[in-house]
Amino acid sequence: MDIGQARAILDLAHSAFISMDEEGRIVYWNIRAEEIFGFTRAQAVGRVLADTVIPERLRESHWEGLRRFRETGEGPVLNQRLEMTAIRSDGDEFPVELTISAISEPEGWSFHAFVADISERSRLEQERQMLMDELQLALRGTEQRLAVIVDALGEAVTIRGPDDHLIHANRAALDRMGLSSVEELREADPRILMGGWETLGEDGSEISMEDLPSVRALRGEQPEPLMLRSVHRGTGEEQWVLLKATAIYDSSGTIEAAVTIIEDVTAARRSSLRMEFLARASQVLASSLDYQETLRNVAGLAVPQVADWCAVDLFDEEGVREPVAVAHIDPSKLEMAERLRAFDPDELDPDQGLGLVRRTGEPVLYNDIPDELLVAAAVDDEHLGLLRAVGMRAVLIVPMVGRSSTIGALTLVSAESGRTFDQSDVEFAEQIAERAALAVENARLYGERSAVARTLQRSLLPEALPELPGWEIAALYRPVGQESAVGGDFYDFWDVDGDWLMMIGDVTGKGVGAATVTSLVRHTAWAASEFDRRPAAILARIDAALKRRPAMSVCTALCLRIASGEATLASGGHPLPLHLGQQGVSEVGRHGTLLGAFSSVEWPEAPFEMKPGETLVAFTDGVTDAVGKGDERFGLDRLKEIVGRAQNESPMVIRERLVAGLEEFQVGAQADDTAIVIMRFTGAKVAAEGDEKISSTTGVQR
Amino acid sequence: MIRASRFEIHREMQGDAARLTVTGELDIASVPRVEEAVAKVLAEGARSLIVDLSRLSFVDSSGLRMFITLNDRSSGEGWSLGLIRPPEPAFSVFQITGAEENLPFVEDSSP
């Protein structure tokens, strides 16, 4: 591990970490040290440590200790846990716990300390100790005095006698146990009293009376504080309590009783568990764009911590529900939960349950569900039987609120655990639902974008290549990027009264904007060709249409008109196609002006003849601009070379060779859209029968 | 993926006359850098801008589009744009699109 890594870890440490050199100057100071002592790293490093963190009255002994260590190498304070008093930047003194170690380095000794602020801990310790001292004193006095002191305490306190019976409890403790008087408490069997709650340890294990700190203290042990989760069997209320107990001795040294202080830590415990849960849920939610899978995972996380079972439903715009996930504390009950959910109508009732939550966007809470409610909700006897078998104690439904509507709901059910839900459960569930809604919307948005992109792309290319009589055709279209990309390249074939028109082009830009322009170009070309089939006229119409758009819309296009072997070509700023014949490969046509860009325009038409066996290759600049090793471009020459070696090959073969050539050449990801159209004139016999005949005999439709 | 091409912009400014000399390949990766440099000299008060393309080895369609946009803007915003021709083959994109006649190419008058 290098120094940088070590420092990064030290910055994460919960303790302050401080390093000091032999001269007593601070050389390292982590983030926690900034928080604890109130000096930034920049302020602290270079300062004398003693003047920074040690109260003035204790500085002399610090220097003395350092001096002695340098002279003798003896450091009695090193490598052990110490409690000391430190000082903050504002002069406040506070207790710290620290461990110091010394390291011998080439330039001398260095000292390193982990320092923890224990002011809170020592305050609680002190209070508890004072309380215990008071109680011990009290017990030696009269019973009235005891009651007066204990009853004056805000915290719940119980006193357990040697026979395990509770002999006293203050008001707070009696309230907690639901008892009205100390007499009632004394008469109660302690086991029956405890049986009013389900008591579980932090790990979920059952806690018996023998595990209670007070009982263990009576047996002469010195028990650690015990954290337990109690669920009242009557009310279903869930609480987290911390039990601390101590034995009280009589004057002869015999254990006379055990005092327990019951601290309600429900709020703190829940908030820390919830933070943990939310952190995990957020991680799960962000992990995948498959929201159904994700919601199943979240439902799984919610059980058993939040509820005994958890279900997720999504709603569509008409309010039809889509059950997505259900998780149950007991896997064997999962099937029952699924069966039960199948009874829920898909069409939601806007006045109850999921339907109500969807309509209002507010959570719905049913605590202590009476049998009548089940009877009312059941659609038939089987349904009622299932509802009763589940033994629902409470149901909480919270909305998953999306950007514009309630997109689903999270249903939390309490059954086995017997607990009810309170306001803080509602708020917590809403937080989970909020995160889940966001995850679903993100996933959907992404899914929609991909679908839109695919649909758009399909609409920008011909459904299938047409069958041109006397021609073989192959085409290639490769947009950059995957799902959500819509390319700016396009090609098209259409026929007008027996003439075939081919267009290939490149709209600058990407995405929906480019797709809109592409669509405009294609429709303008089709419409224009109805009136005038000359390529130059079609390009002129496209140019005019683009110039009418408010934002600059620029496009290159090549327009080819074919009547049997006679071809006419015009280019609107587009690379000229290659012609492959007996004499080899060459560009055909003449350059013309880019469409939609300039005021001075010219689209010269170039008629040329295609002999049987000759091939035309039209392409976009994605081909020639493809980047290879050393930033070299694929270029026109490489393209000509591949095409030139494909004499007598079919368009399909030429296409495969071009793809292979590009893939071999290209380094890194494809940078631009690529489109290629390859047309070979076979000179089929229909060609001799004339244009009009072709039109009527082929009947080819787009 | 945006490729990092070898590309440099050299800038000179005298009064309200600015000159940007671009070297390397002008493509989708380097166009934003030219746009940025142009915005900067205009913000600093340039009224006459020469973009010297004589050291460009390649210009793609996004480079062409940028010059068309700059040309449109200059007439609307009342500043002047002049382009110094790139060598072949970088000039081909201007030739095949008719941009040669429509963009303000000027002779290099600098020493």
DSSP code per residue over A197-235: EEEEETTS-B--GGGSHHHHHHTT--PPPEEEEEEETTT
Largest CA distance in chain A: 129
Query: Is residue A456 assigned to a domain?
Result: no
List chain A residues with CB under 8 Å of B69. 552
Judge contact between A160 and A167, C-beta under 8 A.
yes
Q: Which of B61, B92, B105 to mutate to test the interface with A (most CBs of A within 10 A)?
A: B61
Query: Is residue A564 assigned to a domain?
Result: yes
Q: Check A571 against B96: CB less than 8 A apart.
A: yes
Q: How much is the average pLDDT of A224-248?
A: 85
Q: Which residues of B touch A (CB under 8 A)?
A: 1, 3, 5-6, 25, 27-28, 58, 60-62, 64-65, 68-69, 72, 89, 93, 95-99, 101-102
Query: Is residue A517 assigned to a domain?
Result: yes
* Structure confidence at residue A419 (pLDDT): 82
Query: Is residue A218 assigned to a domain?
Result: yes
Judge contact between A433 and A280, C-beta under 8 A.
no
Last residue of some domain: A448, A481, A510?
A448
Q: Check A593 against B102: CB less than 8 A apart.
A: yes
Give CA–CA dist A510/A240, Å, rounded: 58
Q: Check A601 against B98: CB less than 8 A apart.
A: yes
- Most confidently predicted of A32-46, A219-233, A603-617: A603-617
Q: How much is the average pLDDT of A353-364?
A: 89
> Is residue A126's pLDDT more than 70?
yes
* Residue in the block written with tokens 């050291």: B55
User: Which of A153, A194, A146, A196 has the alpha carbon at shortest distance from A171?
Assistant: A153
Which SS3 state, helix, strand or coil, does residue A160 take? strand
Last residue of some domain: A448, A483, A502?
A448
Judge contact between A265 and A272, C-beta under 8 A.
no
* Structure confidence at residue A355 (pLDDT): 87
Does residue A304 have a cis bond before it (omega within 30 degrees)?
yes
What's the residue count for chain A? 702
The distance of B14 to chain A (nearest Cα, Å) reads 31
Q: How much is the average pLDDT of B28-46?
A: 91
List chain B residues with CB under 8 Å of A633. 58
Query: Is residue A455 assigned to a domain?
Result: no
Q: Check B98 against A599: CB less than 8 A apart.
A: no
> Cα–Cα distances in Å, from A280 out to A271, A276, A302, A315?
14, 6, 10, 25
List chain B residues with CB under 8 Å of A671. 1, 3, 27-28
Terminal CA-CA length for chain A: 68
| Residue A557 and residue A516 share a domain | yes
Of A573, A633, A669, the CB nearest to B98: A573
Q: How much is the average pLDDT of A104-118?
A: 78
> Is residue B1's pLDDT more than 50?
no
> Is residue B54's pLDDT more than 90?
yes
User: A435 falls in which pLDDT band (50, 70, 90)?
Assistant: confident
Give CA–CA dist A175/A323, Å, rounded: 43
φ, ψ of residue A337 in degrees (nearest 5): -60, -40
Q: Check A631 against B1: CB less than 8 A apart.
A: no
User: A702 falls in which pLDDT band (50, 70, 90)?
Assistant: very low
Q: What is the domain partition of chain B in residue ranges? A: 7-106
| Residue A682 and residue A536 share a domain | yes
Q: Which structure tokens are listed for B100?
A: 């040669």
- Most confidently predicted of A68-77, A380-389, A455-464, A573-582: A573-582
The distance of B15 to chain A (nearest Cα, Å) reads 31
DSSP-assigned states of every residue in A467-535:
--TTEEEEEEEE-SSSTT---SEEEEEEEETTEEEEEEEEESS-HHHHHHHHHHHHHHHHHHHHH---H
Judge contact between A69 and A75, C-beta under 8 A.
yes
Q: Say which range, A496-500, B18-22, B50-54, B70-74, has the weakest mean pLDDT.
A: A496-500
* Structure confidence at residue A233 (pLDDT): 85
Predicted TM-score (pTM) of this structure: 0.48
* Structure confidence at residue A418 (pLDDT): 80
Looking at chain A, which residue has its C-alpha nearest residue B101? A600
> Cα–Cα distances in Å, from A444 out to A280, A361, A448, A452?
22, 20, 6, 12
Give CA–CA dist A21/A49, Å, rounded: 9
Judge contact between A66 and A48, C-beta under 8 A.
no
- pLDDT above 70 as % of chain B: 93
Give CA–CA dist A393/A294, Å, rounded: 27
| Residue A99 and residue A137 share a domain | no
φ, ψ of residue A302 in degrees (nearest 5): -70, -20
* Structure confidence at residue B79 (pLDDT): 94
Q: How many of the other CB atoms lie within 10 Å of CB of A579? A: 21
DSSP A347: B
| Residue A134 and residue A259 share a domain | yes
Looking at chain B, which residue has its C-alpha nearest residue A590? B96
Give CA–CA dist A52/A16, Å, rounded: 14
Q: Check A593 against B96: CB less than 8 A apart.
A: no
Q: Check B97 against A597: CB less than 8 A apart.
A: yes
| Residue A101 and residue A83 share a domain | yes
The distance of A524 to chain B (nearest Cα, Å) reads 20
Of A602, A621, A627, the CB nearest to B98: A602
Beta strands per DSSP E along A26-138? 26-29, 82-87, 93-105, 108-117
Give CA–CA dist A659/A643, Å, rounded: 12
pLDDT single digits (tens) A561-582: 998 778 999 999 999 999 999 8
List chain B residues with CB under 8 Å of A668. 1, 3
Of A554, A574, A635, the CB nearest to B65: A554
Judge contact between A539 and A595, C-beta under 8 A.
yes
> Is residue A447's pLDDT more than 60?
yes
Neighbouring residues of A562: CB distance < 8 A, sequence distance ≥ 6: A468, A471, A499, A500, A501, A502, A610
> Is residue A214's pLDDT more than 60?
yes
Give CA–CA dist A689/A497, Å, rounded: 15
- Give the CATH number for residue A304: 3.30.450.40
> Is residue A451's pLDDT more than 70?
no
* Residue in the block written with tokens 């059980």: A303
Q: Which structure tokens are listed for A617?
A: 């290759």
> Is residue A377's pLDDT more than 90?
no
* Structure confidence at residue A283 (pLDDT): 62
Neighbouring residues of A85: CB distance < 8 A, sequence distance ≥ 6: A55, A58, A93, A94, A95, A96
Q: Check A625 against B68: CB less than 8 A apart.
A: no
Of A576, A593, A668, the CB nearest to B98: A593
What's the residue count for chain B? 111
> Is residue A8's pLDDT more than 60?
no
The distance of B5 to chain A (nearest Cα, Å) reads 7
Q: Which residue has the higher pLDDT, A204 or A21?
A: A21
φ, ψ of residue A417 in degrees (nearest 5): -70, -15
Task: Say how many domains are in chain A.
Answer: 4
Q: Say which range, A172-176, A443-447, A555-559, B77-81, has the weakest mean pLDDT.
A: A443-447
Across chain A, what does the average pLDDT equal? 81
Of A508, A601, A627, the CB nearest to B65: A508
Does residue B89 have a cis bond before it (omega within 30 degrees)?
yes
* Residue in the block written with tokens 């309630």: A406
DSSP-assigned states of every residue in A291-312:
HHHHHHHHHHHHTTTT-SEEEE
* Structure confidence at residue A459 (pLDDT): 61
pLDDT single digits (tens) A269-309: 776 666 666 666 666 666 556 677 778 877 887 777 778 88
| Residue A673 and residue A541 share a domain | yes
ipTM for the whole complex: 0.88
Q: How many of the other CB atoms lie within 10 Å of CB of A498? A: 18
List chain B residues with CB under 8 Å of A592. 98
Looking at chain B, which residue has its C-alpha nearest residue A556? B97
* Structure confidence at residue B61 (pLDDT): 87
Last residue of some domain: A98, A117, A136?
A117
- Give the CATH number for residue A210: 3.30.450.20
List chain A residues with CB under 8 Å of B72. 552
Of A571, A625, A631, the CB nearest to B60: A625
Q: Check B1 against A668: CB less than 8 A apart.
A: yes
Q: Which residues of A touch B (CB under 8 A)?
A: 506, 508, 552, 554, 556, 571, 573-576, 591-594, 597-602, 621, 625, 627, 631, 633, 635, 668-669, 671-672
Looking at the DSSP bridge assignments, the partners of residue A259 are A159, A246
Q: Which residue has the higher pLDDT, A435 or A542?
A: A542
> Cα–Cα distances in Å, from A697 out to A501, A563, B59?
18, 14, 47
Give CA–CA dist A208/A392, Å, rounded: 26
Q: Which of B1, B25, B97 to mutate to test the interface with A (most CBs of A within 10 A)?
A: B97
Judge contact between A313 and A360, C-beta under 8 A.
no
* Structure confidence at residue A284 (pLDDT): 64
Q: Which residue has the higher pLDDT, A169 or A616?
A: A616
Q: Angle A381-390/A334-343 helices, nearest 10 degrees?
A: 140
> Is residue A454's pLDDT more than 90?
no
Amino acid at A236: G
Give CA–CA dist A392/A368, Å, rounded: 8
List chain B residues with CB under 8 Å of A673. none
Of B6, B60, B98, the CB nearest to A594: B98
* Structure confidence at residue A695 (pLDDT): 35
Judge contact between A259 and A173, C-beta under 8 A.
no
Q: Containing domain of residue A257, as a range?
A: 122-264
* Structure confidence at residue A282 (pLDDT): 63
B7-106, CATH topology level: Transcription Regulator spoIIAA (3.30.750)
What proportions of chain B, in percent to the nearest 5, are helix, strand and coil? 35, 35, 30
DSSP A577: P
Cβ contacts below 8 Å, chain A against chain B, sum to: 68
Q: Which residue has the higher pLDDT, B26 or A345?
A: B26
Alpha helices in chain B (DSSP H): 31-43, 61-77, 92-96, 99-102
Judge contact between B60 and A621, C-beta under 8 A.
yes
The distance of B109 to chain A (nearest Cα, Å) reads 26
Q: Which of A574, A578, A598 to mutate to test the interface with B (most CBs of B within 10 A)?
A: A598
Largest CA distance in chain B: 40
Give CA–CA dist A303/A283, Å, rounded: 17
| Residue A352 and residue A441 share a domain | yes
Q: Check A593 against B3: CB less than 8 A apart.
A: no
Of A556, A574, A627, the CB nearest to B3: A627
* Structure confidence at residue A688 (pLDDT): 40
Q: Check A598 against B102: CB less than 8 A apart.
A: yes
* Structure confidence at residue B38 (pLDDT): 94
Q: Check B96 against A591: CB less than 8 A apart.
A: yes
* Structure confidence at residue A456 (pLDDT): 60
Query: Is residue A143 assigned to a domain?
Result: yes
Judge contact between A532 and A474, C-beta under 8 A.
no
Give CA–CA dist B2/B29, Å, rounded: 6
| Residue A335 and residue A249 share a domain | no
Q: How much is the average pLDDT of A226-249?
A: 85
Q: Which residue has the higher pLDDT, A511 or A506?
A: A506
Looking at chain A, which residue has its C-alpha nearest residue B94? A573
Angle formed at CA A283 by CA A280 and CA A287, multiple of 5 degrees = 145
Q: Check A669 against B60: CB less than 8 A apart.
A: no
